[in-house]
Amino acid sequence: MRRVLVLGGTWDARDLAARLDADPAVSVTSSLAGRVRDPVLPVGDVRIGGFGGVDGLAEWLQVNDIDAVVDATHPFAARITANAADATARVDVPLLVLRRREWEPGPGDRWHTVPDLAAAAGAVPALGERVFLTIGRQGVDAFADGSGWFLVRAIDPPDVSMPARSELLLDRGPFSVDDEVSLMRRHRIDVVVTKNSGGALTSAKLEAARRLDIPVVMVSRTPIPVGVASTSDLEVAVRWLTQPHGQRPRIV
Ligand code: NAP
């Protein structure tokens, strides 16, 4: 029996857990941070809450006799990704990062790529007054001093300062392009701000912005730690986990 820890909180992590749970040779535990009040739970065993940094995660891996870890967390969850790299190296447990491909601009897109949320907040005033802020609830405070009007969409209410002139829209994807177009029209949106999360489930806003000729401020990801294997392909991750150690596909 191979014991696998999936660091989750994403649709990809839930898909992976479902695939692994169906394999009688694998025992999978998914881990969630516990940020979302009413999370969509993966199938199989689930643990919720932080591990207590690198030390806590390394200890958890040893106590639970874990054979391999897949970090399938959100591309912007940089702290847990760094912790997973350090903890698995310390206790010599193989680690694979499963991460959706980044979105790429296509013909007709008006993207302004920025390194972080502070730079995104700085870029917004030159692009428009009415802002669709679709970065989740974390980091909304980077826009708290913004003078424009903000439509803030998140699954749960942000527990940080919001811009003075804003409306909160609580909703969970996936969203359709038609719905995103109507939402942006209804609120007379001038500019969209998003993180480069990648994947099809929340990309409708990008297609909608293209159709409406609206600029998009796109926040870049933090790179995966150097030397850590990664893939965007769920099937590759499943093979990596389920084949004997020496026969695992080489992934860089
Ligand atoms: P983060 O900044 O990278 O991590 C902060 C701390 O939260 C970590 O040090 C760890 O605490 C704990 N943690 C994070 N993910 C965990 C997990 N899967 N299982 C157990 N503990 C976890 O993470 P974040 O950006 O706050 O994201 C939290 C969770 O929300 C992640 O699981 C991520 O997949 C999901 N999520 C994040 C975003 C986003 O935009 N950041 C979007 C959608 C979903 P300890 O140090 O105590 O272990």
- Give the CATH number of the domain where residue 88 resides: 3.40.50.720
Identify the residue whose C-alpha is closest to ligand 1 atom 8. Answer: 80
Q: Are 215 and 139 contained in the same domain?
A: yes
Does a structural domain hold residue 210?
yes
Does a structural domain hold residue 126?
yes
Local structure of 51: helix, strand or coil: coil
Q: Are 227 and 156 contained in the same domain?
A: no
Cα of 32 from ligand 1 centre, angstroms: 7
The better pLDDT of the pair 154, 252 is held by 154
Residues 209-214, mean pLDDT to the nearest whole number: 98
CA 69 vs. chain centroid, Å, equals 17
Task: Identify the pLDDT of residue 37.
Answer: 84
Q: What residues line ligand 1, using a CB cutoff of 6 Å?
A: 7-10, 31-33, 35, 50-53, 56-57, 73-74, 76-80, 83, 136, 138, 195
Q: Are 77 and 7 contained in the same domain?
A: yes
What lies within 8 Å, CB to CB, of 219 at 6+ separation is 76, 114, 115, 116, 117, 119, 120, 135, 193, 194, 195, 196
Q: How confident is the model at residue 247 (pLDDT cuts 50, 70, 90)?
A: low
Q: Are 150 and 205 contained in the same domain?
A: yes
Does a structural domain hold residue 35?
yes
Report how far residue 127's alpha carbon sits from residue 149's, in angstroms, rounded to the nearest whole number: 13
Q: Are 57 and 118 contained in the same domain?
A: no
Q: Are 87 and 181 contained in the same domain?
A: no
Task: Identify the pLDDT of residue 249.
Answer: 62
Sign of the torsion formed by the C-alpha atoms of 191, 195, 196 and 202: negative
Q: Are 25 and 96 contained in the same domain?
A: yes
Question: Percent of the chain beyond pLDDT 70?
Answer: 97
Does a structural domain hold residue 252?
no
Position in ligand 1 atom list of the atom nearest CA 52: 47
Q: How confident is the model at residue 252 (pLDDT cuts 50, 70, 90)?
A: low
pLDDT tens, position by position, 174-211: 899 999 999 999 999 999 999 999 988 889 999 999 99
Residue 9 scores a pLDDT above 70: yes
Residues 104-108, mean pLDDT to the nearest whole number: 94
Q: Nearest 5 degrees, angle CA 210-CA 231-CA 91?
A: 135
Task: Identify the pLDDT of residue 250.
Answer: 63
Cα of 70 from ligand 1 centre, angstroms: 14
Q: How many domains does the chain have?
A: 2
Does a structural domain hold residue 118?
yes
Position in ligand 1 atom list of the atom nearest CA 83: 9
Cα of 51 from ligand 1 centre, angstroms: 10
Does a structural domain hold residue 237?
yes
Does a structural domain hold residue 66?
yes
Q: Are 95 and 194 contained in the same domain?
A: no
Q: Are 203 and 120 contained in the same domain?
A: yes
Residues 106-120, mean pLDDT to the nearest whole number: 96
Cα of 50 from ligand 1 centre, angstroms: 8
Task: Identify the pLDDT of residue 245.
Answer: 65
Q: Are 59 and 141 contained in the same domain?
A: no
pLDDT tens, position by position, 54-90: 999 999 999 999 999 999 999 999 999 999 999 999 9
Q: Which domain holds residue 83?
A: 2-101+222-247
Position in ligand 1 atom list of the atom nearest CA 56: 48
The better pLDDT of the pair 47, 246 is held by 47
Q: Are 130 and 37 contained in the same domain?
A: no
Q: Are 134 and 69 contained in the same domain?
A: no
Task: Identify the pLDDT of residue 92.
Answer: 97
Q: How far apart are the first and last CA of the chain?
A: 26
CB neighbour class for 246 (10 Å; exposed up to 12, middle 13-18, buried from 19): exposed
Cα distances from 32 to residues 5, 76, 145, 149, in angstroms, run 11, 15, 31, 33
Does a structural domain hold residue 106?
no
Residue 246 scores a pLDDT above 70: no
Say if residues 17 and 29 touch (Cβ distance below 8 Å).
no
